[in-house]
């Protein structure tokens, strides 16, 4: 049946061409399509993109900012896409005319917005792009990916510019901090001098208060005296004396007041200078705080990146804990293995004495063997060997001569026969002696290894009645030392002994015959000649055997004896190394115990190590949980920086008033200091006047009314002065306290400014710092498996689909239900014929598509697995579709098409299954194409693992076997029901006939299942 079917295929050109086309259909389908999209991402540089640059340069902190032109320069050196730098109008026209797939537009405010980072309301850079998804969606996706990379490059460049500006500002702030620290130190010195002067004034205030009080008392007394003066000049005289005394006291306090005022004036000058320096420092601090606020804004922008890094750190910590658990399990296993190693080494160490004793016994036995071999072969040298060979050759020649003489024996006289008999008897006796000696030597040599071994073992010392080296083992060693040549020599010696014994017997008989020659006739002599010929032949064999024996014995002496000596010497060296071996094994036992102890200690610490790792991960999670707090803190810090900047702005605006006030204080105190000499002079003149007053009391008496009025006014004025003295004292005290606080604050300010300046100077800021801020991370791509291009990625999917389509088309166009030889067939033959055709066609499909795909550039890591997967996949698809088409005819083919449709979406050939809908994920494990794609991917790129490959191949094989069995059962059923040979596909052209129902109803009802 199979030959018949193949013959019909070859004989029908149309059917043969159909089968050939079906074989080539998968490679046509997969090869042409895959080659068209083999490496699209490798040709991205040919994707045209228009770039429109409208940017206008600007400046930031005195530096030029030209981001647009910098971006254009970078793109001109970039080959990722086919960049076209055109005007806005040409770009729009090109996108409309499908010349460009994307327009990248750099607006004119691009650099301006980049420079607004330090403004109150910074604006983001707007890099716009326009795509045409209707032209090609994949082109739009590629363009968007390119824009993402372009945005990252722009961000990196702009961030680097920002970092350069911030670094410059930080350096400026550092310089300003140094200057502010110097000014604060000067303020501290000036405020210290002011405090000292005010302290002096404060100390003199009580004396001034006392003097004014006395002056008030004196004025009261003066008033009373004046009043009394009016009553009497005597009372006025007493009052004038008291006035003179009070004025003298006041005059004594004036120099101290003058000194305090001088110090106050000097301190006010220092205060004025310090205030000027302080205002300069405040201005620099205001500038620095502005820069600080801007830096804090940039810092707040970077906080999300910090949060992502901490999240990655937490994930890495979890992975670390998982690896640590695996490590602790390995430590426990290593501890168990080390314990077993220690026990084994202790057992080995306990067996060392027996090993040493056995080697010592073996060494002694080898020495005895070498000595006995040497003693046994010393007597046999080359000279004796030559003599023995000469003797044997002489015997052979003698027998040869006898053989030659025998024919003439009948003619010899009796006397010569007697001589011949005597000679032959002598030769026979000699041969008997030689044979006896050779036989004894054979017995000795053949028994010597066992005998020597037995003797050696008997002489060996034994402990506790046990010999550790047996005679059998030592015999084996001796035979190996002697070698195979000794054994061959022994065999030849035995053969020669037997031959010599035979020759000796024959010579004895010959001698007897010779003695009887006179009575023997010619016939008997002829028989004797025949016997002598046999004797000559035996003698030749004996001669050859003896020669080999002699050579073998010499070889034993030359080779076996030195070999036995070398064995004895080697065993002696092994015996000498036994103590070192014992010590080494002892050290190994100690080391294994230490290893076991260390592993036990390490295993005991694994819980602490695991706990520490858990705490680390917990701390990372706590740090992750505190990230929002850190973010809020940075935001609050930024807000505080703004408030600090605003406060310093107000303080800076008031610095002018502070400097003006300090100048006025210094000017007023200078004027007061200038009037101090006049005050002192006035006080002195007042004292002199009091004297003159006392002298002129008589004159005042005449003007008592006026004097009374003036005294009253003087009393009232001094009372007013006395009332203001507490206010003056309180003001001086407050001024002194304030000056001390100013001094302490200036010292603290100077220290903090100096510390801040040192910290800023300690920060290493360079171009590398700017690069780090602009691009703080990098990515490293490690490939578990490599897929070179898009064609390699889609090849498993399209090859599986093409094999399915090829098998489907074959079952459409080939008459699979047709029986090639209906008369001489049965169900089994029908099944085998279709199975063979399907097997051949599917195998050729797999072979052709696999070979052609490799020829067009498909690189395969595992060629054997690659072809094996193609074969099993083609067989499965062929017999699955053949089962459906054979069993259900056209509906079965429709089911096969539906299976193809479902497998296209659920096999996961293009996109990862997590990206597809739930329905297709449910179908995925039940689709045969899923496993063919898995197996082909593993064979091409080895990225899925051998376990998944074997699992997939097992499923494909089981399914193929199942469908072959189902196909056989279905064909048996069809054959029994008489439905073999008919297919609805053959009648499809008749479905449109007008009388189809009437004409073919009976025929159809008898041949179809429906």
Range with the largest mean pLDDT of 375-379, 739-743, 836-840: 836-840
Residues 398 and 404: their CA atoms lie apart, in Å, by 10
What does DSSP assign to residue 466? B
* Residue 940: Cβ-neighbour burial (10 angstroms; 0-12, 13-18, 19+): buried
Q: Which of 552, 616, 12, 101 is nearest to 316 (CA)?
A: 616
Count of the separate structural domains present in the chain: 4
Residue 343: its pLDDT value, please? 76
**Span 781-786, mean pLDDT?**
61
Residues 729 and 202: their CA atoms lie apart, in Å, by 7
Residues 438 and 41: their CA atoms lie apart, in Å, by 95
Residue 870: its pLDDT value, please? 97
Cβ within 8 Å of residue 763, ≥6 positions away: 170
Domain assignment present for 363: yes
Residues 79 and 154: their CA atoms lie apart, in Å, by 17
Residue 543: its pLDDT value, please? 62
**Span 728-752, mean pLDDT?**
72
Domain assignment present for 469: yes
Cβ within 8 Å of residue 571, ≥6 positions away: 359, 362, 363, 366
Q: Which of 308, 317, 312, 307 is nearest to 617 (CA)?
A: 317
* Residue 602: Cβ-neighbour burial (10 angstroms; 0-12, 13-18, 19+): middle
- Give me the phi and psi of 49, to 5 degrees please: -135, 130
Sign for the pseudo-dihedral over CA of 545, 550, 553, 559: negative
Stretch among 227-241, 253-267, 636-650, 918-932 having the lowest mean pLDDT: 227-241
Residue 235's pLDDT band, with cuts at 50, 70 and 90, is: low
What does DSSP assign to residue 734? H
Residues 438 and 472: their CA atoms lie apart, in Å, by 27
Task: For 175-224, write each residue's pLDDT tens digit.
Answer: 766 676 677 677 767 767 776 776 777 676 677 677 667 766 766 776 66
Residues 92 and 654: their CA atoms lie apart, in Å, by 58
Residue keyed to tokens 């190590």? 609
| DSSP string for 62-116 | TEEE-HHHHHHHHHHT--SSEEEE--HHHHHHHHHTTS-SEEEEE-TTHHHHHHG
Residues 871 and 159: their CA atoms lie apart, in Å, by 58
Residue 447: its pLDDT value, please? 47
> Which of the listed residues 549, 576, 608 is the one where a domain comes to its end?
608
> What radius of gyration, in Å, describes the C-alpha atoms of the chain?
64
Residue 147: its pLDDT value, please? 65
Q: Does residue 221 contact residue 298 with C-beta atoms inside 8 Å?
A: no
Tokens of 956: 């494909």
Residues 828 and 299: their CA atoms lie apart, in Å, by 83
Q: Does residue 877 contact residue 809 with C-beta atoms inside 8 Å?
A: no
Tokens of 195: 């405090």
* Residue 413: Cβ-neighbour burial (10 angstroms; 0-12, 13-18, 19+): exposed
Q: Which of 136, 141, 129 is nearest to 98 (CA)?
A: 136
**Span 751-774, mean pLDDT?**
63
Q: Is the pLDDT of residue 39 over 70?
A: no
Task: Note the residue count of the chain.
Answer: 1010
Domain assignment present for 782: no
Same domain, 275 and 397: no
Domain assignment present for 165: no
Same domain, 463 and 596: yes
Within 13 Å, how many C-alpha atoms sit on residue 312's CB side? Answer: 7
Same domain, 91 and 31: no
Q: Which of 874, 817, 864 is nearest to 844 (CA)?
A: 874
Task: For 603-660, write each residue's pLDDT tens digit.
Answer: 777 677 677 667 766 766 776 677 677 677 767 767 776 776 777 677 667 767 766 7
**Which residue segment(s) compose the domain that 209 sits in?**
182-330+655-760
Tokens of 516: 């009887």
Task: For 284-299, write each residue's pLDDT tens digit.
Answer: 767 766 776 676 677 6
Q: Which of 812, 942, 794 is nearest to 33 (CA)?
A: 794
993 alpha-carbon distance from chain centroid:
74
Domain assignment present for 880: yes
Same domain, 300 and 354: no
> Which of the listed residues 65, 100, 135 is the one where a domain comes to its end?
135
Cβ count near 973 (within 10 Å): 14
Residue keyed to tokens 């100690």? 590
Same domain, 601 and 455: yes
Q: Which of 335, 347, 352 is nearest to 584 (CA)?
A: 352
Q: Does residue 53 contact residue 16 with C-beta atoms inside 8 Å?
A: no
Range with the largest mean pLDDT of 149-163, 450-464, 532-546, 867-881: 867-881
C-alpha triplet 304, 306, 309: angle, nearest 5°: 115
**Span 413-428, mean pLDDT?**
61
Residues 468 and 480: their CA atoms lie apart, in Å, by 20
Same domain, 522 and 426: yes
Q: Which residues, in sequence order, are bridge partners of residue 103? A: 50, 130
Residue 849: its pLDDT value, please? 93
Same domain, 259 and 204: yes
Residues 35 and 32: their CA atoms lie apart, in Å, by 5
| DSSP string for 310-368 | HHHHHHHHHHHHHHHHHHHHHHHHHHHHHHHHHHHHHHHHHHHHHHHHHHHHHHHHHHH
Q: Does residue 631 contact residue 303 with C-beta atoms inside 8 Å?
A: yes
Determine what percent of the chain is predicted with pLDDT higher than 70. 46
Same domain, 816 and 878: yes
* Torsion on CA atoms 615, 620, 626, 630, rounded to nearest 10: 140
- Alpha helices for 907-945 (secondary structure H): 918-923, 928-941
Sign for the pseudo-dihedral over CA of 905, 906, 909, 910: positive
Domain assignment present for 1009: no
Task: For 352-398, write each residue's pLDDT tens digit.
Answer: 677 667 667 766 766 666 676 566 556 555 665 666 666 566 666 66
Same domain, 854 and 972: yes
- Strand 63-65 relative to strand 82-85: parallel, antiparallel, unpaired? unpaired
Stretch among 225-234, 294-303, 875-884 having the lowest mean pLDDT: 225-234
Q: Does residue 517 contact residue 588 with C-beta atoms inside 8 Å?
A: no
Residue 780: its pLDDT value, please? 58
Same domain, 351 and 448: yes
What does DSSP assign to residue 64? E
Domain assignment present for 920: yes
Sign for the pseudo-dihedral over CA of 230, 236, 242, 246: positive
Q: Does residue 113 contact residue 128 with C-beta atoms inside 8 Å?
A: no
Same domain, 65 and 28: no
Residues 956 and 74: their CA atoms lie apart, in Å, by 53
Same domain, 69 and 215: no
Cβ count near 491 (within 10 Å): 16
Determine what percent of the chain is predicted with pLDDT higher than 90. 13
C-alpha triplet 297, 299, 305: angle, nearest 5°: 130
Domain assignment present for 848: yes
């Amino acid at each position: 049946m199979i030959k018949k079917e193949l013959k019909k295929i070859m004989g029908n050109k149309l059917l043969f061409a159909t089968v050939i086309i079906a074989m080539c259909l998968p490679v046509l389908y997969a090869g042409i399509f895959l080659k068209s999209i083999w490496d699209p991402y490798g040709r991205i540089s040919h994707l045209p993109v228009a770039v429109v640059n409208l940017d206008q340069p600007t400046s930031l902190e005195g530096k030029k900012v030209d981001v647009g032109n910098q971006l254009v320069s970078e793109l001109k050196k970039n080959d990722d896409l086919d960049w076209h730098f055109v005007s806005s109008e040409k770009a729009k026209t090109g996108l409309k005319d499908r010349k460009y797939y994307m327009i990248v537009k750099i607006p004119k405010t691009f650099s301006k917005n980049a420079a607004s980072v330090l403004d109150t309301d910074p604006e983001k850079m707007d890099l716009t792009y326009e795509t045409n998804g209707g032209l090609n969606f994949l082109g739009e996706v590629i363009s968007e990916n390119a824009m993402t990379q372009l945005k990252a490059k722009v961000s990196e460049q702009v961030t680097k510019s920002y970092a350069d500006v911030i670094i410059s500002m930080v350096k400026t702030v550092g310089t300003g901090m140094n200057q502010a620290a110097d000014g604060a130190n000067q303020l501290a010195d000036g405020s210290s001098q002011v405090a000292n002067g005010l302290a002096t004034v404060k100390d003199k205030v009580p004396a001034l208060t006392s003097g004014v009080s006395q002056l008030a008392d004196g004025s009261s007394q003066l008033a009373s005296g004046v009043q009394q003066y009016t009553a009497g000049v005597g009372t006025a005289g007493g009052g004038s004396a008291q006035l003179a005394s009070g004025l003298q006291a006041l005059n004594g306090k004036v120099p101290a007041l003058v000194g305090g005022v001088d110090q106050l004036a000097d301190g006010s000058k220092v205060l004025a200078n310090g205030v000027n320096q302080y205002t300069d420092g405040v201005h620099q601090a205001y500038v620095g705080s502005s820069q600080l606020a801007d830096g804090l804004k940039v810092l707040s922008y970077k906080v999300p990146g910090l949060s992502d890094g901490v999240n990655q750190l937490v994930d890495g910590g979890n992975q670390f804990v998982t690896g640590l658990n695996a490590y602790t399990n390995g430590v426990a296993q290593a501890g168990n293995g080390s314990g077993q190693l220690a026990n084994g080494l202790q057992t080995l160490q306990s067996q060392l004495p027996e090993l040493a004793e056995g080697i010592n016994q073996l060494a002694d036995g080898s020495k005895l063997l070498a000595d006995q071999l040497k003693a046994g072969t010393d007597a046999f040298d080359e000279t004796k060997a030559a003599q023995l060979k000469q003797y044997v050759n002489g015997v052979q020649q003698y027998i040869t001569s006898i053989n030659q003489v025998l024919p003439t024996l009948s003619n010899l006289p009796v006397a010569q026969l007697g001589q011949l008999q005597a000679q032959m008897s002598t030769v026979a006796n000699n041969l008997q002696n030689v044979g006896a000696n050779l036989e004894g030597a054979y017995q000795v040599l053949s028994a010597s290894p066992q005998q020597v071994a037995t003797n050696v073992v008997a002489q060996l010392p034994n402990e506790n009645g046990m010999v550790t080296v047996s005679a059998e083992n030592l015999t084996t060693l001796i035979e190996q030392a002697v070698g195979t040549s000794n054994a061959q020599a022994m065999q030849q010696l035995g053969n020669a002994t037997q031959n010599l014994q035979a020759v000796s017997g024959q010579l004895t008989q010959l001698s007897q015959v010779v003695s009887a020659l006179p009575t023997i006739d010619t016939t008997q002599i002829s028989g004797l000649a025949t016997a002598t010929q046999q004797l000559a032949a035996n003698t030749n064999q004996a001669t050859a055997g003896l020669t080999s024996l002699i050579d073998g014995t010499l070889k034993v002496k030359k080779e076996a004896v030195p070999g036995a000596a070398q064995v004895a010497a080697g065993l002696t060296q092994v015996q000498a190394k036994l103590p070192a071996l014992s010590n080494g094994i002892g050290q190994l036992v100690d080391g294994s115990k230490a290893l076991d102890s260390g592993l036990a200690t390490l295993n005991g610490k694994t819980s602490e190590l695991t706990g520490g790792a858990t705490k680390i991960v917990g701390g990372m999670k706590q740090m992750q949980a505190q990230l929002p707090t850190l973010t809020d803190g940075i935001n609050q810090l930024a807000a505080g920086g703004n408030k600090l900047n605003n406060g310093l702005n107000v303080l800076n605006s008031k610095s002018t008033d502070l400097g003006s006030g300090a100048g006025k204080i210094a000017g007023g105190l200078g004027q007061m200091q200038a009037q101090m000499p006049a005050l002192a002079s006035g006080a002195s003149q007042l004292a002199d006047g009091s004297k003159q007053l006392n002298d002129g009391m008589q004159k005042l008496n005449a003007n008592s009314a006026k004097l009374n009025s003036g005294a009253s006014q003087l009393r009232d004025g001094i009372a007013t002065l006395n009332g203001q003295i507490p206010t003056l004292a309180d003001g001086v005290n407050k001024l002194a306290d304030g000056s001390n606080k100013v001094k302490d604050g200036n010292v603290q300010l100077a220290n903090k400014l100096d510390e801040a300046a040192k910290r800023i100077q300690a920060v290493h800021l360079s171009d590398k710092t700017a690069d780090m801020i602009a691009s703080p991370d990098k990515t490293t791509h490690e490939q578990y498996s490599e897929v070179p291009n898009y064609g390699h990625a889609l090849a498993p999917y399209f090859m599986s689909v093409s094999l399915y389509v090829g098998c489907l088309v074959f079952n459409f166009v080939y008459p699979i239900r047709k029986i090639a030889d209906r008369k001489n067939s049965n169900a089994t033959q029908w099944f085998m014929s279709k199975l063979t055709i399907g097997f051949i066609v599917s195998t050729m499909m797999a072979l052709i598509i696999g070979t052609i795909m490799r020829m067009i550039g498909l690189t395969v890591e595992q060629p054997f697995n690659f072809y094996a997967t193609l074969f099993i996949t083609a067989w499965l698809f062929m017999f699955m579709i053949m089962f459906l088409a054979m069993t259900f005819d056209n509906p079965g083919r429709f089911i096969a098409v539906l299976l193809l449709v479902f497998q296209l979406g659920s096999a996961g050939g293009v996109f990862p299954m997590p990206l597809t809908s739930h329905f297709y994920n449910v179908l995925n494990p039940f689709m045969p194409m899923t496993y063919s794609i898995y197996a082909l991917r593993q064979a091409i790129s080895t990225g899925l693992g051998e376990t998944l490959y074997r699992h997939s191949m097992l499923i494909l094989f089981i399914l193929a076997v199942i469908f072959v069995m189902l196909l056989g059962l279905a064909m048996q059923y069809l054959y029994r029901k008489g439905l073999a040979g008919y297919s609805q596909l053959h009648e499809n052209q008749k479905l449109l006939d007008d009388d189809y129902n009437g004409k073919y109803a009976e025929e159809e009802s008898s041949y179809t299942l429906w």
